A and B are shown apart, each in its own frame.
Chain A
Amino acid sequence: MSLRPSALGRQTSAAVKMLLVLTLVLGIGYPALVWSVGRLALPGQAGGSLVSASGRVVGSSLIGQQWNGPQWFHGRPSASDYAGNTSGGSNLPPGDPRLTRQVQARRAAAGPIGNQLPPDALTASASGLDPHISPAYARLQIERVAAARHLPIKVVRHLVDAHTQPRTLGFIGEPRVNVLELNLALEHQAR
């Protein structure tokens, strides 16, 4: 190219100044503005949709948790055990022997309902933090939870129904149950 060296220098100097100005506008001004609106108008969402019980934060309604023991509704398998400091899934392709072994182990661990588990109970989510399960998986756990908590099945079933969220506007997304919210309601019921 037949460019004078001064042209390159001039454009580079403009580039440095432009990046500096845009850093102020886009890197500081823009997030600061969105952050301020969030803080003032939408503090709940901006803060992570945190859920409290007995005056202390016990989780976020958006982030799934690990539940062990028959007295809780269980969430989906998670590649990160719901630790929250990492996120992600298994990345295993269909038919991979490691996935097949994991699925077998999940069926075995579920005991008597192992052979009826719906897909979401057999598979790890993409985020490892999926807060939801399918209504089918929730219904399948009613009997176990009711027995462990010495509650009438009808009461637990009613709670599951009350926490089953339909598709938005009837067609966007999937029917689902938020596991943390359901377990919180269960705890509340038990008292």
Chain B
Amino acid sequence: MSDASAGLLTIGLLAAAVAVVHVPLGNYLAWVFTSERDLRVERAIYRVTGINSRSEQSWRTYAVALGAFSAVSVLWLLALVVAQPHLPLARGAEQSLTTAVNTAVSFVTNTNWQDYAGEDGASPVVQTIGLTIQNFVSAAVGLAVALTVIRGLTRSGARTIGNFWVDLTRGVVRVLLPLAFVGALVLLAGGVIENLNAAHTITTIAGRHQTIQGGLVASQEAIKELGTNGGGYFNANSAHPFENPNAVTNLIEIFLMLVIPFSLPRTYGRLVGDRRQGYAVLGFMATLWTGMLAVITWAQVHAASGPLGAMEGVEVRFGVWNSALFANSTTSTSTGAVDSLHESYSAIGGGGALVNMAVGEVSPGGVGSGLYGALVLAILAVFIAGLMVGRTPQLLGKTIGRKEITLAALATVVSPALVLIGTGTALAVPVARGAILAHGPHGLTELLYAFTSAANNNGSAFAGLSATQPFLNLTLAAAMALGRFVPIALILALAGSLAAQRRQGSTEGSMPTHTPLFTGLMVGVAVLVTGLTFLPALALGPLAEAL
């Protein structure tokens, strides 16, 4: 079978699997966040933590709870990472203070950018009771925020948008934990390791010495992909054979990162009582995902006709097609795991990964963050369309007034502002410029990629950049924190404002938001916003390199 037929069949199989699973999973998610009853284990958690699961929160209290939980998480993780040399199973792992700050912010914000190598930067204790937990809860936080936006649209004249602790607990207990457990067992069966061995040296039959790593990898790998986190147990991330031993585990890992984000439009459609609304959002996500997959795959296959076959930084078991599929999926979600080195991609291939993140990761985006990002774009789309044809901008009977459009627009420009200011500043600082590996436009792309990845909470890298230095550690940490929590605060305020509104009946003047035309409008808005903000920077980086 030719590479192209095999590659297209693989993509077809993946798409079919996601299409089949998104219906029941989307329905299940809708039930999880609306059911009246608490599970026994949830009741136990509420009892221990002193949470009243029946009480609801205003958007402000919700934001305070989310902020407090994230702040406590950062401090706890920072303490663990700094203290790891003195904890059990230390095995020589350590990080400098600024790297530890970067790591703590990175995992709490669902970015999972890594300025350390897993082999010597994180002990098994940090990997399990530090990083694995954040892989779960940072995803659950995203899920919770997405739910508040849906509640904002469905409630009428309400003062509350849900209870953060209940949303967090249900996301973990009913969704992420069971799915991650199944995923971990499947990956384990496929060859991903799960042991407590220290790295040990063996002698090969050729008489050479080699280190064999150990680690609780399968349990972390599953939630790393499912929670669209992406932080590798080892430095090589999902290119490491112990994290991703074969093309089947590779496909399963891609499936895991896509499945919840692509199911959430179904949840949205169900909860707003009109499944077509969900299809419009799903259509938007799928269009962008497919379009960018075509760009990246074309670029890599084209590059593969050269003498190096586009195999630098690519594993033989995955080859060009499966690597491009992984690269597109990891950057269009907020995962950032890699099974090949994006820096060694062709200019357009690597640039495509960069564009996926620059669009704001909404195709389908991270767990929860993809849906709330897409709904913000939907609000922009109804507003712009309303301006064009003179109709009242409305989404599901909620008027998009001055307050709503201000919040939505601000939420959209936070990440581009962080990226462009961050990259510009770093270019002016000699110590940051010195961290660049490549020459010419590709060197600029390294820095642009780093700040785009951080501000959009992706975590993948043009890994030639030597980012382990105080300046980049701290500026990237700031980009991650602001890129995550400023939009979340704005979106919670938006949800609160929408929930407080009385729902208007739809009139002759309101624009339908369930049609392919509206999907097209959303794509147009996403392309327009990204183009207007990033085209100059892209022109100096990947586009200049490609010409």
A interface, CB within 8 angstroms of B: 1-3, 7-8, 11-19, 21-23, 25-28, 30-31, 33-35, 37-39, 42, 45-50, 53, 56-60, 62-69, 72, 76, 82-94, 96, 99, 103, 118-120, 122-134, 167-168, 170-174, 176, 183-184, 187
Contact = CB atoms under 8 A, between A and B. Distances in A.
Interface stretch (B179-187, B258-266, B398-406): B179-187
B397 interface: no
B206 A120 contact: no
Contacts, number: 338
Interface in B281-313: 303-304, 306-313
Interface residues of B, number: 114
Nearest to A96: B438
A26 B211 contact: no
A123 B314 contact: yes
Contacts of B246: 168, 173
A62 B240 CA distance: 9
Interface string B1-44: 10001100110010000000000000000000000000000000
A132 B439 CA distance: 31
A8 B49 contact: no
B190 interface: yes
B211 to A, nearest CB: 4
Given A12-B68, A14-B65, A119-B307, A93 B49 contact: no
Given A22-B136, A93-B438, A84 B191 contact: no
Given A34-B181, A86-B235, A187-B205, A132 B316 contact: yes
A173 B49 contact: no
Given A14-B51, A125-B239, A126-B313, 4 more contacts: A17-B48, A88-B235, A122-B311, A124-B312
Contacts of B527: none
B87 interface: no
Interface in B309-364: 309-319, 322, 338-341, 343-347, 350
B316 A176 contact: yes
A31 B311 CA distance: 35
B64 A82 contact: no
B184 A34 contact: yes
A65 B464 CA distance: 24
B417 interface: no
Nearest to A135: B316
B302 to A, nearest CB: 11
Contacts of A124: 312-313
B214 interface: yes
B149 interface: no
Contacts of B310: 94, 119
Contacts of B51: 14, 18
Contacts of A59: 202, 204-205, 210, 212
Interface string B163-182: 00100110010000100110
21 contacts: A19-B133, A35-B194, A38-B188, A50-B212, A60-B241, A69-B206, A76-B316, A84-B211, A91-B344, A92-B343, A93-B545, A119-B310, A120-B311, A123-B308, A123-B309, A126-B315, A131-B241, A172-B248, A173-B246, A174-B319, A176-B317
A35 to B, nearest CB: 5
A94 to B, nearest CB: 6
Nearest to A48: B193
B236 A129 contact: yes
A72 B132 CA distance: 41
Contact of B132 (A16, A26, A58, A125): A26
B192 interface: yes
B435 interface: no
B338 A126 contact: yes
A179 B208 CA distance: 15
Contacts of B180: 30
Contact of A11 (B68, B341, B343): B68
B68 A15 contact: yes
A172 B60 contact: no
Q: Which of B65, B136, B180, B463 has the most CB of A within 10 A?
A: B65
B64 A3 contact: yes
B48 to A, nearest CB: 6
Contact of A35 (B172, B189, B216, B306): B216
Given A16-B72, A84-B212, A31 B248 contact: no
B247 A65 contact: no
Nearest to A87: B236
